[in-house]
């Protein structure tokens, strides 16, 4: 069967393959339908000299080939670069409704986002595709916001691989959640969500590398970090994004901003940018790296509710605190009775969430986690924990079934 060489750059963590992937000797690396599960697996695949996919005799593959030929022609590129312009991992029908469990559907959204971030120039409908992801986020959050927050936060504080897309997705979900609290219009909320999804488009691959790198950024990496906001804005312009608020958010998301005392008095685009800056800083602080452990939920909350040098509470940080509590779903706490628990949803008070005990007082896994109300004295929260200190892998589907919608 005819084969086409595939650029390793088109593979990413969490990607579900719509083709069989082979090495230069024809040995199957991954079969069609399988998923790239770990960073180690991804690096092992990328280390091969060449990678190939079979060109199936189907309408989807014909369209992909024709689109690739057109893109190759527009770029006036040599035929040897054909593989860079053929988008063989595109979903068979991008308008398909998400299926599966809540965890699986969030995984599909993450996979789609990863594909978009790695191939911004791959088509002329980039803005429409990101809007589609924003709609998926709206639907999933409307179905069960608490379980959605749990899934995203728990993965963000426990996993190193695939950081860029997951971090963007978490910020987008939180931005969507805060829309009502901050009196955002539907259009503003969509611009904020799209800005969060694409804020690091110019350094997505580098972010994934930095998350598993055991040493600080090198000088050339620091240069890319410092310029990524402006470069990202230009990439989005070139990809056809026309939403000016979205473009402003991405271009300024690392620029210090000053404005009126009340957030509602800020210009709309700057107000949305300020919101994303807070969410970005808050979630990044809790996410672990190979070079450092993530901060605890309590420390991360303090950093955005009362930023260093400030005397009054930050309006956005305070809204976030009221919405998800001091300890967001998916993060870990130690209870007064010595047990370790994972937060599953906000409770009656921001400081007293509903939790599920997962380790007994001796640090041993509990076979069937059970819910605990931290308003009760013996189950009150004694301390928040960095997730890297908890040696446990949760069954996310089972945990989600425990969480009231």
Cβ atoms within 10 Å of 324's Cβ, excluding its own:
27
pLDDT of 90 > 90? The answer is no
Is residue 110 classed as helix, strand or coil in its secondary structure?
helix
More confident residue, 127 or 33: 127
**Which H or E run contains 355?**
strand 352-359
Once rounded to an integer, what is the mean pLDDT over residues 343-355? 92
Residue pair 135/105 in contact (Cβ under 8 Å)? The answer is: no
Q: How distant, in Å, are the alpha carbons of 183, 326, 331, 348, 351 from that of 146? A: 21, 14, 13, 14, 16
Question: What integer pLDDT is reported at residue 72 of this predicted model?
Answer: 55
Tell me the Cα Rg of the chain: 22
For 219-235, the pLDDT digits (tens) are: 999 999 999 999 999 99
The model's pTM is 0.76
pLDDT of 4 > 80? The answer is no
Question: What integer pLDDT is reported at residue 197 of this predicted model?
Answer: 98
What are the residue boundaries of the structural domains of the chain, listed by start? 3-84, 102-324, 332-402
Superfamily (CATH H level) for 102-324: Hypothetical protein af1432 (1.10.3210.10)
Query: Range with the lowest mean pLDDT among 163-172, 218-227, 286-295, 334-343?
Result: 286-295
Burial (Cβ within 10 Å: 0-12, 13-18, ≥19) of residue 309: exposed
Q: How far apart are CA 143 and CA 109, in angstroms?
A: 15
Name the band, by pLDDT with cuts 50, 70 and 90, for residue 59: very low
pLDDT of 340 > 90? The answer is yes
**Angle, in degrees to the nearest 10, between helices 268-286 and 163-178:** 130
Residue pair 210/200 in contact (Cβ under 8 Å)? The answer is: no
| CA 197 distance to own-chain centroid | 8
- Return the ∠ at Cα 398 (arms to 397 and 400), rounded to 5°: 65
What are the tokens at 259?
Answer: 């404005």
More confident residue, 95 or 242: 242
Question: What integer pLDDT is reported at residue 89 of this predicted model?
Answer: 46
Contacts 24+ apart (CB under 8 A), 177-183: 177/141, 177/145, 177/149, 177/323, 177/324, 178/275, 178/279, 178/316, 178/319, 178/320, 178/323, 181/319, 181/322, 181/323, 182/263, 182/271, 182/275, 182/316, 182/319, 183/264
Name the band, by pLDDT with cuts 50, 70 and 90, for residue 92: very low
For 155-209, the pLDDT digits (tens) are: 999 887 788 999 999 999 999 999 999 999 999 999 999 999 999 999 999 999 9
């Amino acid at each position: 069967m005819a084969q086409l060489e595939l650029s390793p750059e088109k593979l990413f963590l969490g990607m579900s393959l719509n083709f069989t992937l082979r090495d230069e000797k024809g040995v199957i690396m991954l079969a069609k339908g399988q998923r790239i599960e770990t960073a180690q697996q991804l690096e092992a695949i990328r280390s091969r000299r060449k990678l190939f996919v079979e060109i199936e005799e189907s309408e989807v593959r014909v369209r992909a080939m024709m689109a690739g030929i057109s893109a190759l022609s527009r770029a006036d590129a040599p035929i040897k670069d054909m593989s860079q312009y053929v988008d063989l991992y595109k979903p068979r029908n991008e308008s398909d409704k998400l299926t599966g469990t809540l965890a699986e559907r969030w995984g599909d959204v993450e996979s789609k986002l990863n594909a978009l971030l790695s191939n911004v120039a791959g088509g002329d409908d980039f803005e429409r595709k990101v809007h589609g992801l924003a709609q998926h986020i709206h639907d999933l959050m409307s179905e069960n916001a608490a379980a959605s927050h749990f899934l995203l936060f728990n993965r963000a504080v426990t996993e190193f691989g695939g950081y860029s897309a997951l971090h963007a997705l978490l910020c987008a979900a939180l931005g969507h959640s805060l829309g009502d609290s901050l009196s955002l219009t539907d259009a503003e909320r969509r611009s904020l969500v799209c800005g969060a999804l694409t804020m690091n488009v110019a350094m997505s691959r580098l972010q994934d590398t930095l998350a598993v790198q055991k040493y600080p950024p090198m000088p050339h990496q620091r240069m890319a970090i410092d310029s990524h906001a402006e470069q990202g804005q230009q990439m989005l312009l070139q990809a056809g994004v026309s939403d000016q608020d979205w473009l402003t958010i991405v271009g300024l998301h690392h620029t210090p901003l000053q404005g009126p005392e009340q957030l509602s008095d800020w210009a709309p685009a700057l107000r949305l940018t300020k919101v994303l800056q807070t969410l970005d800083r808050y979630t990044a602080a809790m996410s672990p790296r190979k070079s450092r452990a993530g901060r605890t939920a309590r420390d991360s909350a303090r950093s955005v509710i009362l930023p260093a040098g400030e005397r009054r509470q930050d309006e956005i940080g305070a809204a976030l605190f009221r919405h998800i509590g001091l300890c967001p779903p998916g993060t870990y706490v130690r209870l007064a009775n010595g047990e370790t628990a994972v937060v599953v949803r906000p409770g009656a008070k921001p400081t007293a969430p509903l939790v599920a005990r997962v380790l007994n007082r001796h640090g041993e896994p509990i076979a069937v986690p059970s819910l605990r109300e931290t308003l009760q004295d013996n189950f009150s929260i004694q301390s928040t924990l960095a997730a890297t200190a908890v040696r446990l892998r949760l069954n996310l589907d089972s945990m989600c079934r425990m969480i009231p919608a």
